Structures are given as structure tokens and as C-alpha cells.
Chain A
Amino acid sequence: MLISYDWLQEYVDVDIEVPELAELLTLSGSEVDSIGSVGGRLDERIIVGQIVELCLHPDGKLLIAKVDTGQKPLALVTGAPNVAVGQKLPVALIGSVLPNGQVIEAVSFQGVTSYGMLCSEQELELGDDASGIMILPLDTPVGMPLTDALGLDDPIIDLEIYPNRPDCLSVLGIAREVAAITGKSLRLPTIKVMEAGSPIEDLTSVTVEDMKLCPFYSARVIRNIQVGPSPLWLQKRVVAGGMRPINNVVDITNFVLLEMGQPLHAFDYERLAEKRIVVRRAQPGEAITTLDGETRVLDQETLVIADAQKPVCIAGIMGGVNTEVNSETTSILLEAAIFQGLSIRRTSRRLGLRSEASARFEKGLDPSQVTKALDRATQLLVEIAGGEVSRGTIVVTTKLPEQRVVIFNPDRCNRLLGASIPQEEMIRILESLQFEVKLDKANQQLEVKVPSHRLDIELEADLIEEVARLYGYDRIPATLPKGVAQGGENRRLEVAAQVRNLLVGAGLTEIMTYSFDSPDSYRKLNLPEEHELGQAVTIQNPLTTDWSILRTSLVPHLLDVLRHNAQRQQHDLQLFEIGSVFVPEELPLTKQPDERLTLGIALMGDYPRDWGFPPREVDFFELKGLVEAVFDDLGLSCQWEKTNHPTLHPGRSAVVKVGNTKVGILGEVHPEVGEIWELPARAYLAELSLEAILAQISHEKRVDKLPRYPAVARDLALLAPDTILAQEVLEVIWAAGGDLVKEITLFDVYQGRQIPSGHRSLAYSILYQARDRTLTDSEVEAVEGKIITELETRLGITRR
């Protein structure tokens, strides 16, 4: 809401500077966004001039204007098509500087010297119009600097009005606030209408067919008006409110809209069929061409103002060209009404049409102001456009709501605020905001009558806010809550934090990506059409189709981030994300999807190089080791099974299980997928369901006693057919070794020279230890012998 400081002064005497006023408004709940002006200060030598004579330049195209500037007339040459004798316009005198920095000099146009320049709106940076010279109101004083004449530097305060305060969407509404904040009195405009001629009932009638959508409709008829440009003061106000002057009738309705917050509409009375008004829903297929030139097809949800035959206005939103006020108009029907906010809101959304008027209808209007606004506009029409007002006003309305009374308990107010505001102070504040307060001494409470413009006040809490905001939030002492409370982290987040700490400690960097994804991403993972990951929740109104579903996997964005970085010369990447994936139970969705907290890891390229070590590439086992470390850290042991997943390398992928529950998958990215995602090197992915892992975590932790007898470590080098899995070897050693084997460490895997083809060498270090004695060499050898025999008979493995 734009509020002109100058305009505001008409209703309340503000004796403080603008920044101070802005501060007071902000601290009382009308947030000041910025302080500006219509145009700022222009050069003093840009002044108001009037054309006294106009003649054609010898070249036959340009015009030579003789312009009165308050001193001796100047000859000015212009090519603008819109100038005429008698007009007032901005003149940039020689030596003046335009906002763009151009210095005006005497210029000769084929022998004729122009002693200055006539300016367009655009040249003065007052608007976009460059089609001709800016034409000023006829009562603009000649010779005056344009800045002063038009009030271009009048401070304009831009306020953000919260949706609960539609009563502040007007200069008077803000004046009311300012009066309450500063303790000054409010000066309302005097409204007086002189009626004459025939009663309105003889001239028109109003039928409201849907009182729910239009609970209040009022109209007046004004005849014999003269449509023309508005006087300077009116144009200034309209411009200060952020609107463009059109003609006196439209400017007056806009002025009253800005002044009182009540939208008005003027119809060309003569063009109304049967000269009457019907407020009704549109018939299906009915169309109207609105003032913006668009033809709009309407439906039954749309409320229209119609005459006897056709819609003439989309109620509360925009008028039709068929009854638009123009220079030929002599009589108008002026409307002031209230339309149901919800209906206006829906219609304006459907049509994509919002206006100053619709915004106000949506939020609600004060019923006591409607006919006042109608009369205010009527009064101005008579003053400015010289109309004659028919006797009476047509008012169609349901019973107006009674004035609300809210019980207010000053004690409770202080208890809620934690303040000790005296009761008299509370009463003073409420009365300054035009609440009527009655003290109920018996019950130690106040009966507060709510003024009709305060549609937002329903409960005591609403009044407490009024008291608090005018008392000043800064005057309420800051305290700390009473009572002791046990704070605490949430278990899910705690586990996520534990995993995050481990991975960061292991050199991985955390990323965070959008929950949105593209359906295409899942095709780009090589997944068949019917794959479960493709069954995703769809957003009805996505920003783009690339972001039209909710992710069912972290993998696509992990690959996105690998690619994004690789394209920026960063190929060595170790990263992870912890976030939710969204798994619908059924589609289309009938209930909320499952949100599963998920861990995704991606590795690509080399580990950071260091001068003491050879370069090391990431591989499957680096990734597997990270995942094992995660489980180990959570106190879980996991099992691995080979798997087949279209996104992963068929020979290099595995699922990981805890107990019998599958909790994740990992592997090398399938070369085809790597190519689709333009990855420059082999990449490795893991995706684990933290949700599933959480369910497995036990919080019990018990320590083992430390051994009392020494251990014996022995190496065992084996030659194994390469069809035998390491897991099988391990299982045989554990089984054959029995209780005496404490630890088995694989420290070398070798294939190549000296190893027969189809075989590999596996070297283990085995730790033997007994709880109750020191093992002898022969005991260890016996166990080792048993292990070797078992390996040989069960797996065909020999000792090297």
C-alpha cells in the first residue's frame, strides 16, 4: 500500500519526520517496505509551460511552439504529434539536465532555433510513455518547477499490509493507525451530496439474484456530467497511489478506492439496456470483453453485473467495454457494493485477473462504509465533472451483522504477555483504535465493542495483540520460561548424525539435493518401465517437468552431482547424502507416502594424491569397506550377497543384509549408465535404508574380558580355485578352527606369475588363543592342520 505523506496530512496532523513515522508504523505492525517518491527531484529548470501559438516548421514536418513559461515566451521545436494550443507541458530550459544526464542546449533545426525542449514522460523518467509530450492538467501553474507542481518529491511510504488488516488498505485506514500511534485526532472528510431532479427509482432498478455472493449493492445515478481530464490535485493523488489518471470519472472512483478502501464502478448509464442492473451468476458460455480488451468466456461460478440483456462487468474484478465511461458519456450509474471474498478470489484466480478492487473484495470490506464511499464519489463528481445527482440511493442488502462485543480481561492480558500494563493504559489504547470500552467492575473485565472496519477482531487474543502492539513489544520485559525441561535429540536424527560423522571422518563430503526429480531420471538408470523405483508420487503443479515427481531413490541426484562436478574439472569425488525418499503405498495416492530416511554414497576417481604414497583409485572394496564401517559403528554386523540391478555392473554389485532384512545395495555403476550420465571414470554407488537399519539397532553394549594368555599369530598362504568365494574360505576356517581361532585377517590376494591359471593365492594371518592357558606349538599346529585338511577336502584348496 502506497501512502503519500502529503495526502496523509489531510486526515491527521503528523508533526514528525518521515523516517520517524516509518519507524513508528513498523513497530506497531504496519511494516514499511521502503520510502520513495513518485519521481524524485528533477532539475529546477524543468518547468511548466503552456503553448500559446503553434506553427509548422518550414520543413513541413516539425512544429514550432511558442510556449509561455511565466517569463518571455520561448520558441520550441518539437516533432511530437500530440501537442495543441492551450496545453500545459513540461519544458526543459537551456542548461537544465534530464534524469539521464542529458544537458539541454539551444539546438538549431534547419535554421529554426529551439530554446529548450518539450519532454515526454519517458524523458523525465516518470513513466514509460514515449509516444508524445507529457500533457499536464490544465490547472497546473505555469512557470513553476515541475517537481513542485506535481509533488514529485512528496515522500511515499510503501507499506506491507498483512492479510488480516484489510482496513489498512486505504489512506484513511493508515491515518487511523497514525492517529492512534501518535495520539493525534483523526479528521474525516466532510461528505455532502446535493440531490436534484427525479428520484432514482424512476431512472433505474437493481435486482440482486444471489445475495450470498453479493450481500450489499448500492447505486446512484448522476446525470449531465462532463467527462474530461482531472484537475491537478486529483491526478496527483491518483499517481501517488500508484495508478494512472484516465479521466475525471475514473480518477474519482480510483481516488475514493485509495482514500476509503471501497472499490467503486461507474457504468455509462445510457448504454445499459433497459437502464437497469441485475446482479447474477453468468450463464454458461456467456462472454464479455473487459476493459483490458480481452474477451472472456464466463461460467456459472462467475458473478456478473448485467443489464437487462448482457453482462456489463465481472463483479468486483473488471468492467466491460460495452458500458465503459468515455468522453461521450453524459450520465453514469455509480456502483458501490460488497461481493463475497471467496467467490471473487476464485474468479480472479480462474481468469488470472487481479486488480486493486479484487484484492480488497477478497479480504473483506466494512459494510458501514459502502454508501459513504458512494456519496464521497458522488460529491466529487458534482464538484469536478459538474453532474446532477438524482434523488436517493438504491441499496439492496441483507441484514448487516451486529457490532461484535468481545470480553477482555486485563489480568489475562498481562498474564499472557508477561507484562504489567495498567488497566487504564489498556483502555486508552483500545479507545485510540476506535474500540468502545465499557468497564464491567463486578467481573473485573472490559466489554469491548469492535468498530465495523475491524473484521479481524473476534477473540480476546486479538484484543491482546492490539494492546501489545500499541503498548510496544519493546516495553515487554524479556524473561525465561519457568520450569525445568529435559531437552533431547531425536533418535532418527541422532543415528543420521552418527553416520554423517563417520563418513565425514572417512573423507567424504556431504551434499544436499532437491527432493524433486524427473520421471526421466529413472529411465536413465536403465530401469525397466515397470520397476518399483519408477512408481513415484507426482506433483500436480510442478515448477518444471524435470521436477515433477518426488524421488524414490537418492541415486539420480548423486549421479547429477558427480556429473556437475566432473564438468568443472573435479573428477575425484567422495560424497554422500542423507535424506528422505518417498515411496507410495499405491498410486494414485490415497494416503501419505512412506518417507524413508536413506543414505546414498558415491565414489569416483582417485583418492586425494599425497607425495608419500602411490595414487589410489576408488574401487568396489573401498565402498564396501565404508559401508562395513557404518554398520560396525552402529554395532551391527552385515552380510553380503551378489545381486543383479540394471543400474549396476552385473559382476560388481551386491545387496547388504542385516539378519534377514535387506537394507541396501551397492556396486559399480553400469558402463551404459555411466555413459548416459557422462561420467568420466568408473563410479561406485551405495544406497542404504537408514529406516531399515534403525529398526535393527540395539542400544545394549557389553564388553568382553581381556585375554590373560598370549596369542599366537601364524600366516597361512593358500592356493584356491578362483571359483571359490572368499566368504566360503572364511566360513571353513572358522568352522575347522573352533574356539581357538580368534581372528582371521586376509592380507593378500594375488593372481599372476607363479600361480596356475584359474587359481588365486589368498594369504591369511590367523590368530590363535585360548582363554584358560598358553597354547603350545603342537596345539596350534594341530588346529592349523585341521584347517588345511578341511580346506582341501571341502574346497580343493591347497597350502602354498
Chain B
Amino acid sequence: MRERLRQMRDEAWKRISEADDTGELDKLRVRYLGKKGELTALLRSMGSLPPEERPDVGKLVNELRGQLDDFLKERLHNLEARELEKRLEQEAIDITLPGRRPAFGRKHPLTQVLEEIETIFVGMGFEVVEGPEVELDYYNFEALNLPPDHPTRDMQDTFFISDDILLRSQTSPVQIRVMEKQEPPVRIIAPGKVYRVDVVDATHSPMFHQVEGLLVDEHTTFGDLKGVLGAFIEAIFGEGRRTRFRPSFFPFTEPSAEIDVECIMCNGKGCRSCSNAGWLEILGAGMVDPRVLQRVGYDPQKYQGFAFGMGVERIAMLKYGIDDIRLLFENDMRFLKQF
């Protein structure tokens, strides 16, 4: 009997060790430990033993049952681990296949620059307003100190619809419309399309975008103009870029200034983009001319402030290194998808 037990034990051990999948292991469990298994049968056949041996043999059988059970569990655990490993190995993918992206398009580069400009000025307390693109001569010119036939009108060749209706050549008329409706303080920017009779080439477009700014109250100074525009330039072109304010002429500001920023392409050394000057003209600005204030019914003795204007295309072209303005309106997807 003991001999049989020993034999069974060696044989079961061997089989369990050699089983190499969990199914086989399951069969072995049934074969040895199941209700109709060999060990149970052995236990049943114990009746033929002398009664004094029975307790010892019973103990041995139960020990063996415990050992087999532990061994089976251990083997099962190992085999399961191995099978999982195998499955994971089989499930491996080529992670260099491209990812499936959600479709997303692009905003037009001019929109992106306009949004950036608006965000900067809204942050400085400016309100965004709009004005009509088809304007009256009065707002586009006369109210801005440009009477009919004034030589200064030559600076802006204008599309006319009728004698007194035109396509605005600047966003400045919005200044007048706002001041006519609103008492100071006024702190606005006005983005939008403007139009000039310019034949299309790499640097000219008959339609382009400007952003106008106006701040009028009782105390705003030319120094404030320098501060606000300096902060803007830093925000849009990055910190540490030199800027330069120099005298200029606009009919509706006095004093007037043009603001240059150190060339972005050559960092001021001089290159083709800046005609070797090292400076790029970015903004026109000045203190609102008292005649303009008077015309909208503001007391020029009491109120003062500044106005400025900038070309959005120019800023976009500098920011992104675009060398031909036509690209902005051709809408070639190979261009637009780059933004």
C-alpha cells in the first residue's frame, strides 16, 4: 500500500511537471484529486488494510492530497503566467503605424494674428468694435482732417462707389463713429478689412486688414502711447526686441509717430526684408488732433488721447516669414494647412 502510494506520488509528480497547458493540468487534477480520482479510489480501498494501519495510511493519503493540490496550484499559476505572456506577445502591434487623428482644420493665418492682437489689447482694457467697410467720404476722410482734393489723399488711393460713398481706405473712420456716439473715456480697437487701389504684387493687395486703436480721456499722454505700443510689440514679437518711435505725419494726429521694431529677420543687422535699415515699420500712431476731437463734439481743452493703426498682413508676414502677400488670399490648402 505504501509502495503504491509512493508510486502514485512519483507518477503524478512527473505528469504534473510535464503538463504544459492549463487544460491538461485540469485533467490531472480530476484524475488524481477528483471524486472519482485515483487518490479517492485509494482511500476507498483502505478497507482491505488492517485496521491498525489505517490511520497511518489515511494520514499519508491526506498528506499526499495536500502536496498534489499545492503542486497543481503552483503549476497552474506558472502556466497561466506563461500563457498570458504568450498572449500578450501575440497581441503586439506595430506601434509605428500612424495614429488616427480626429479631423481638424486650420484658422486662416490672418485670423490667428487678428485674434492674437485682439487678445493683447482686450487684456489692456480695450474694447473691440467694428465699423462698415463701405464708408462715407466724411468718416474716411473729412472728419479725419482730409478735405476733398487735399494732397494728402494721394497717400491712399481709394475705391469709390459714388461721390460720397467709398470703400474705406483705413480703419480710422471707426474712431469717428465711436466718438460721435460715446462720451470719453473711450478705449477701443477696431479690426477690419480696408481697400486701396493697389495692383496686386508680392507686397501689395487691394484688400488688406488693419487694426485701429483709440484711447481718449482727460489725461492720456504720448508717453502712455509709447508704453501701450511697447507692451503690444513685446507681446506679439517677443521680449527684448528694440523699438523706435520716430516723427511722422498723419492728418488726424499731432504729434504723429511711426514705430519701428528691430528687424525680425536679421535682428537689426540689415537684410533684404528691412532694406538694410535694420528696422521694420510696424505701426503708425499719434495724439488725436484737437480738430478731430472738436468735430465730434469733444472739448479739446479737456480731453486728450492717442490713436494708432497697424497692418495685419505685414505683421503676419513677419511673424511667419511669408514673402508674398498673394499667398494669403489664394487659399491654397498646401499653404493654409501649415498654420
Asked if A and B bind, the verdict is yes
Seen from chain A, the residues whose Cβ lies within 8 Å of a Cβ on chain B are 26-29, 31, 34, 162-165, 341-342, 345-346, 362-363, 415-419, 459-462, 464-465, 468-469, 473-474, 476-490, 492-493, 497, 500, 503-516, 537-543, 547, 550, 561, 564-565, 568, 570, 573-575, 580, 582, 588-589, 591-593, 595, 607-608, 610-613
Question: Chain B nearest CB: distance from A302 CB in Å?
Answer: 15
Question: Chain A nearest CB: distance from B329 CB in Å?
Answer: 6
Q: Are A164 and B287 in contact (CB under 8 A)?
A: no
Q: Are A610 and B106 in contact (CB under 8 A)?
A: no
Question: Chain A nearest CB: distance from B287 CB in Å?
Answer: 6
Q: Are B334 and A415 in contact (CB under 8 A)?
A: no
- Contact with B246, one of A415, A473, A588, A592 (Cβ below 8 angstroms): A473
Question: Chain B nearest CB: distance from A360 CB in Å?
Answer: 11
- Binary contact readout B89-130 vs A (1 if CB under 8 angstroms, 0 otherwise): 000000001101011111110110001001001111111111
Q: Which residues of the other chain, A, contact B268 by a CB distance below 8 angstroms?
A: none
Q: Are A510 and B107 in contact (CB under 8 A)?
A: yes
| A417 in contact with B333 given A31-B246, A481-B215, A506-B103 (CB within 8 Å) | no
Q: Are A507 and B104 in contact (CB under 8 A)?
A: yes
A613 to B102, alpha carbons, bound, how many Å? 13
A507 to B108, alpha carbons, bound, how many Å? 13
B247 near A: Cβ within 8 Å? yes
Q: Which residues of the other chain, A, contact B336 by a CB distance below 8 angstroms?
A: 509-511
Question: Chain A nearest CB: distance from B308 CB in Å?
Answer: 13
Which chain A residue has the least Cβ–Cβ distance from B110?
A512
A362 to B151, alpha carbons, bound, how many Å? 7
Question: Chain A nearest CB: distance from B106 CB in Å?
Answer: 5
A34 to B124, alpha carbons, bound, how many Å? 37
Q: Which residues of the other chain, B, contact A163 by a CB distance below 8 angstroms?
A: 151-152, 154-155, 249
Which chain B residue has the least Cβ–Cβ distance from A32?
B277
Q: Are A514 and B207 in contact (CB under 8 A)?
A: yes
Which of B125, B165, B193, B255 neighbours the largest number of chain A CB atoms within 10 Å of its CB? B255
Q: Are B193 and A515 in contact (CB under 8 A)?
A: yes
- Binary contact readout B192-236 vs A (1 if CB under 8 angstroms, 0 otherwise): 010101011000001100000001010111111011101100000
- Contact with A565, one of B165, B219, B332 (Cβ below 8 angstroms): B332
Q: Are A593 and B331 in contact (CB under 8 A)?
A: no
| A487 in contact with B193 given A461-B254, A608-B103 (CB within 8 Å) | no
Q: Are A477 and B161 in contact (CB under 8 A)?
A: no
Which of B134, B304, B330 neighbours the largest number of chain A CB atoms within 10 Å of its CB? B134
Which chain A residue has the least Cβ–Cβ distance from B205?
A514
Which chain A residue has the least Cβ–Cβ distance from B305?
A481
Q: Which residues of the other chain, A, contact B247 by a CB distance below 8 angstroms?
A: 27-29, 465, 468-469, 473
- Contact with A479, one of B102, B122, B227 (Cβ below 8 angstroms): B227
Question: Chain B nearest CB: distance from A469 CB in Å?
Answer: 4
13 CB-based A-B contacts, threshold 8 Å: A27-B246, A163-B155, A476-B223, A480-B231, A482-B224, A485-B185, A489-B122, A489-B128, A493-B128, A537-B134, A540-B159, A565-B333, A592-B135
- Contact with B331, one of A34, A346, A486, A512 (Cβ below 8 angstroms): A512
Q: Are A484 and B151 in contact (CB under 8 A)?
A: no
Question: Chain B nearest CB: distance from A515 CB in Å?
Answer: 6
Q: Which residues of the other chain, B, contact A26 by a CB distance below 8 angstroms?
A: 246
Q: Which residues of the other chain, A, contact B226 by a CB distance below 8 angstroms?
A: 473, 476-479
B48 near A: Cβ within 8 Å? no
Which chain B residue has the least Cβ–Cβ distance from A613?
B100
Q: Are B222 and A468 in contact (CB under 8 A)?
A: yes
Q: Which residues of the other chain, A, contact B206 by a CB distance below 8 angstroms?
A: 514, 516, 543, 547
Q: Are B133 and A515 in contact (CB under 8 A)?
A: yes
| A570 in contact with B149 given A417-B223, A510-B111, A539-B159 (CB within 8 Å) | no
Q: Are B334 and A568 in contact (CB under 8 A)?
A: yes
Interface size class on chain B is: 35 or more
B291 near A: Cβ within 8 Å? yes
Q: Which residues of the other chain, B, contact A483 by a CB distance below 8 angstroms?
A: 185, 217, 219
| A493 in contact with B249 given A487-B123, A504-B106, A568-B332 (CB within 8 Å) | no
Q: Which residues of the other chain, A, contact B261 by a CB distance below 8 angstroms?
A: none
Task: Give chain B interface residues in 130-186, CB to chain A under 8 Å.
Answer: 130, 132-136, 149, 151-152, 154-155, 159-162, 165, 167, 185
Q: Are A592 and B304 in contact (CB under 8 A)?
A: no
Q: Which residues of the other chain, B, contact A346 by a CB distance below 8 angstroms?
A: 149
Question: Chain B nearest CB: distance from A473 CB in Å?
Answer: 4
| A487 in contact with B121 given A29-B246, A539-B167, A568-B334 (CB within 8 Å) | yes
The 7 A-B residue pairs whose C-beta atoms are closest, nearest first, are: A507-B103, A418-B221, A418-B223, A29-B247, A485-B125, A162-B249, A465-B255
Q: Which residues of the other chain, B, contact A481 by a CB distance below 8 angstroms?
A: 187, 215, 217, 220, 224, 227-228
Q: Which residues of the other chain, A, contact B149 by a CB distance below 8 angstroms?
A: 342, 345-346
Question: Chain A nearest CB: distance from B170 CB in Å?
Answer: 15
- Contact with B221, one of A345, A415, A485, A547 (Cβ below 8 angstroms): A415
A486 to B215, alpha carbons, bound, how many Å? 13
Q: Are B161 and A537 in contact (CB under 8 A)?
A: yes
A503 to B160, alpha carbons, bound, how many Å? 35
Question: Chain B nearest CB: distance from A18 CB in Å?
Answer: 14
Question: Chain B nearest CB: distance from A489 CB in Å?
Answer: 5
Q: Which residues of the other chain, A, contact B287 by a CB distance below 8 angstroms?
A: 416, 461, 464
Q: Are B127 and A488 in contact (CB under 8 A)?
A: yes
A27 to B277, alpha carbons, bound, how many Å? 13
Question: Chain A nearest CB: distance from B237 CB in Å?
Answer: 16
A503 to B106, alpha carbons, bound, how many Å? 9
Q: Are B110 and A476 in contact (CB under 8 A)?
A: no
Q: Are B104 and A504 in contact (CB under 8 A)?
A: yes
B328 near A: Cβ within 8 Å? yes
- Contact with B329, one of A488, A492, A493, A513 (Cβ below 8 angstroms): A513
Question: Chain A nearest CB: distance from B165 CB in Å?
Answer: 6
Q: Are B134 and A479 in contact (CB under 8 A)?
A: no
Question: Chain B nearest CB: distance from A211 CB in Å?
Answer: 20
Which chain A residue has the least Cβ–Cβ distance from B107?
A510
B244 near A: Cβ within 8 Å? yes
| A485 in contact with B187 given A479-B227, A510-B105 (CB within 8 Å) | yes
Question: Chain B nearest CB: distance from A229 CB in Å?
Answer: 36
Q: Are B334 and A570 in contact (CB under 8 A)?
A: yes
Q: Are A593 and B275 in contact (CB under 8 A)?
A: no
Which chain B residue has the least Cβ–Cβ distance from A162?
B249
| A582 in contact with B134 given A476-B222, A487-B123, A511-B331 (CB within 8 Å) | yes
Q: Are B132 and A592 in contact (CB under 8 A)?
A: yes
| A416 in contact with B221 given A459-B254, A461-B287, A507-B104 (CB within 8 Å) | yes
B262 near A: Cβ within 8 Å? no
